[in-house]
Structure 1
Amino acid sequence: MLNSAQIIGCTNSHVVRLEAIDSANKSGNMYLQKNTAAAFIALQKSALAAGIDCQIVSSFRSFERQLHIWNRKWRGELAVLNDDQVPINMAELSDVEKCHAILRWSALPGASRHHWGTDIDVYDQAATSAAGHKLQLVPSEYAENGICGTLFNWLNEHAQEYGFTKPYAIDQGGIGVEPWHLSYAPVANLVLEQYPQDALYAILEKSDIEGKSTIMAQFDYILQRYVFI
């Protein structure tokens, strides 16, 4: 089981470099929790046997990295998109609206499943490269006729055989649909059962996160809507 610091992303002591397990892996510079890494390699080899080049575009992410993303989005330095993938004019929103606009596609620092080392974003590298396509991680890329559509269909049929689920497969009113996101359930489900809510609150109170007063006023609600799903 992961400890609080690992779950919140304040340490990387629970993750290993994929290359250390599989030296020839094209996603080798990604970091995963060790059981997750072994399961992903098995999934990846099975996909390759079916002619699909499943690679990781995002794996472990630290608290500081998530904080950097959050603060840049809050300040308008990075685009925040609506459900139609159109940039939102953040200057027109209240602080509460800004908070939830960011949370739709980016996790609260300390509350990202990517901190756990159990969650990954995947794509079909060969298909993307062959088409000269620049991956954007938008739902249309994983639609039936999308560049990663074949991968998406294969994962729907086989991901659970390797312990992976899709926590954002449907819109539950919190995080938007992310067909590229896989979670290694045997470990991730244990994290959710013992989630260190008080420790996260304390870390955020001490952080330099933008919109802190708005976040802390809604803290419990944010966890229920965006994390405990």
Structure 2
Amino acid sequence: MKRRSFIKKASATSLACAFPTIIPYRNSIEFSTDELIGKADIDLYGEGINLRKEAHDAYVEMKKAAYSDGFNIKMVSSFRDFYRQQGIWERKYLRFTEDDGMSPLDAIDKIIEYSTIPGTSRHHWATDIDIIDGNVIVTGDVLVPEKFEAGGPFEGFKKWLDENSEKFGFYLVYTDQPKRRGFKYEPWHYSYAPISIPMLTAYRKINVVKMLQNEDFYGCEHFTTGFLKSYIQDNILDINPVLL
């Protein structure tokens, strides 16, 4: 989850401030509900990349550009289907409730600091990526904000992404804007906007509350209508506004 400005400061001029960021995307594409919630079989491209064709091609070009500047973009996560997300959710739910002794509601609140409810992940769309610099040797969890900040091992890589990722259509999703709600800042999570924007538009037409109330996984019995409505507004929609 990340909160940042999407207009590059280095190239900001009075003209840049006068015009909004415009992302060309194909709004004629139709997506099935199963496709949007991660239950459809879709074509994925690239060994170890696993993105839709257009996103894959843009990722490869971005990787080449980064490499020429001394960075080796390494994919940590891309496409995840519903059932893989369910596995992530349930492992965390059991760990927090059984090992850590949290109440179900506290466990759910803890999970959704960084992890999505199955059926609501942007990774279901094969447009979003979690990436690091493979040239840097680090210990422990690589996907922590501190490692992308000043003094962290990925500081230079994050600066490169700030200056270049949008040239290839990839935008930070969960920014570090102080007033943003929902998922916490994720400086590693980028979305291929030309496809993810129309996918989010289509996703917003789904009755997510009804969909989740018909699912069966650990913890879902504690999802109230009020909780789910807040989750949709805060975690799904309170993102980088360029991606809405």
When normalised by structure 1's length, the TM-score is 0.82
Task: Find 1:65's aligned residue among 51, 62, 84.
Answer: 84
8 Å contact kept, 2:72–2:135: yes
Q: Does 1:16 align with 2:26?
A: no
Instruction: Give the equivalent residue in structure 1 for 2:203.
Output: 195
Single out whichever of 142-151 and 154-163 deviates more from structure 2: 142-151
Q: Does 1:5 align with 2:34?
A: yes
Q: Which is bigger in relative contact order (C-alpha 8 A, separation at least 6)?
A: 2
Instruction: Specify the SS of the correspondent of 1:120.
Output: strand
Which whole-Å CA distance do the structure 2 matches of 1:109 and 1:45 have between them? 33
Q: 1:71, 1:210 within 8 Å by CA — same for their partners in 2?
A: yes
Q: Counterpart of 1:194 in 2: which secondary structure?
A: helix
**Where in structure 2 are the equivalents of 1:82-121 lying within 5 Å?**
90-93=100-103, 95-121=104-130
Q: Is 1:143 matched with 2:143?
A: no
- Give yes or no for the alignment of 1:164 onto 2:170: yes
Deviations 1:73-116 (A, max 9, x none): 1111799xxxxxxxxx85244x3332221111101101001001
Match of 2:215 in 1: 207
Unaligned runs of 5+ in 1: 19-27, 80-88
The CA deviation at 1:49 is 0.7
Which residue identity is paired with 1:4? Answer: T
Q: AA paired with 1:16? A: L
- Map of 2:20 onto structure 1: none
Q: Deviations over 1:179-209 (max 9, x none)?
A: 0001011111111212155454454333321
**Does residue 205 of structure 2 align to residue 186 of structure 1?**
no
Q: Say what the alpha-carbon RMSD is for the aligned residues.
A: 2.2
What are the equivalent positions in structure 2 for 1:42-81 lying under 5 Å apart?
42-76=61-95
Between the two proteins, what is the percent identity of the paired residues?
Answer: 29
Q: Which amino acid aligns with 1:12?
A: D
Deviations 1:34-71 (A, max 9, x none): 11111111111100110110111100001001111111
Question: How far is 1:220 from its partner?
Answer: 1.6
Would you say the 8 A contact 2:33–2:206 is kept in 1? no
Q: How many residue pairs align between the two structures?
A: 206
Q: Displaced runs of 4+ in structure 1, greater than 6 A?
A: none
Out of 172-181 and 215-224, give the one that drifted further.
215-224
C-alpha displacement of 1:148: 1.4
Tell me the residue number matched to 1:223: 232
Letter in 2 for 1:158: N
Match status 1:153 vs 2:159: yes
Letter in 2 for 1:148: F
Q: Is the 8 A contact 1:103 1:175 kept in 2?
A: yes
Q: 1:72 to 1:133 in 2, by over 3 A?
A: closer
SS at match of 2:237: coil
Aligned partner of 1:82 in structure 2 is: none
Gap regions ≥5 residues in structure 2: 1-28, 239-244
C-alpha spacing 1:155/1:78, structure 2 compared with 1 (3 Å) = farther
